[in-house]
Structure 1
Amino acid sequence: MKKIITSAILSAAILAGAPAFAATVINTTHGAAKFELGSYGGSTTYGQTFKVGTDAMLNSYSMFLTKMTSENFQFKSYIYQWNGSGVTGPALFTSASHQASIGDDREYVFSTTGLKLAPNTQYVAMLTVDGAPNNAFGTMMPIVANTTYSGGSFVFTNTNAFGGNWDCGEQCNFGDAWLKASFSAAVPETATWGMMIAGFGVVGAALRTRRRSIRIASAA
C-alpha cells in the first residue's frame, strides 16, 4: 500500500510541475499577391493580426518581404496588442534592426524568447521602415487573398508612424500577410514549481520512513 501511495505522490508532483511542450502554429504562407512597402509610393508599416489561443507563449514568428531593388534599407518588427482598429499599449516585443536582402519572399525570423501573451486576445505582428536611413521603394510583402485563417487579417498604416492611424477599410478584409508563429503552453508558475519540489520532499520522507520501518522489523 505504501508503495502505491508513494508512486501516486511522485506522479502527481511530476504532472503538476511539468510544462507542456506541444506547440500551436499559425501559418498563412499559402499563395500570394504583393503589396508595396516603402516610404515612397506605399505604406511604411504592414502587419498581420492574429488571435492567441490557450497556448499563449509566443516562442518565435516569421514575416516575409520580396525585395526587387539594390537599394539598402533596414526595418524592425514589433508585437503589439490589437484593439480591432489599431495598436494599443506599449510594444510587447521590439526586434533589432534587420537589413533587407534582395530576393523573392525572404523569411525573417524573430525570436521572442517565450513572450507570454494573454489567451483569447488579438495582437499584431508588424514590419516597419519608419526611421530607416533609406526608403524601401520597390519592396513588397506577400499577402494571401481570400484566406481561410479567421483569427486575423492584413493591416497597414497610411501615416508616417505605426503608432498613428491604421487603414482598416476594404484592404483589411483583403486577406492575410504571410506569417508563421509558434506558441506553446506557459511555463509553470513559481507556486507550481514549489508544489513539485514539496512533492519530491514528501516522497523522500516516505521512502526514509519505509526503510526505517524495514530495519526495525528486521532487528525484531
Structure 2
Amino acid sequence: MFAAAVAATVAFAAAPAAQAAQFLTLTGPSGTYGDDNVTCAGGGVFCSFERTFTFTTPTGFNLASSDITSLLTGNNQATNLDLTTVTLNGKDFNTVLSGVQEFRNLLNQTIVAGGTNTLFVSGTVGQAGSPTPANASFTGNLSFATQVAAVPETATWGMMILGFGMIGAASRSRKVKTSVKFA
C-alpha cells in the first residue's frame, strides 16, 4: 500500500509546471485526486483542459469506485468548470449532476489487483462574456474493495437436488387411465 502511494507521488514529481496543482494520493484502500487550480486566461472564452492520473492498484484489491465533482473557487460565482470526459481505464463515469457544479461517479469497476490504471479528466473552464481570468477546481475520491466470488448456500443445493428428484419421480410414475362416462 505504501508502495502505491510512493509510485503515485513519483509519477507526479515530474509533472510540467502547467499541471503543478494536479494531485493524486493513495492511502490503503482509498485516495483522492484532482486539480485545485484549473485556470483560463479570460477574454470571454472558455478554455479546455485535460488531466491524466496514472496509479497502481493497491495489492489485494480488484474493484474500484470513484466520484468527482467540480468546484467554484474565488468570489466570482460565474466561473464554470464543465467536465466533458471522465474515464477510468476507458470506462465512462455516470453523470449524476450537471450544470454550474457537476458530480459524476463510477461504481464497482473491475480492475487488476496491483495493475496500472489510468484516470482521465477533460473539460472546459471559463466565464461567459467575462474578460477576467477564471479559476476553478475539481476533486475526486477513489475507493478500492475486494470482489469475492459467490458461494452457493447448502440449502440452495439441497433444494436443487430435491427438485431434480421430484421431476425424475414424476416422469417415471405410471400414468393412470381415467375413463369418464356420461349418463
TM-score bracket for the superposition, by shorter chain length: 0.3 to 0.5
State TM-score, norm by structure 1.
Answer: 0.31
State TM-score, norm by structure 2.
Answer: 0.36
Higher helix share: 1
Q: Which has the higher contact order (CA 8 A, sep 6+)?
A: 1
Higher strand share: 2
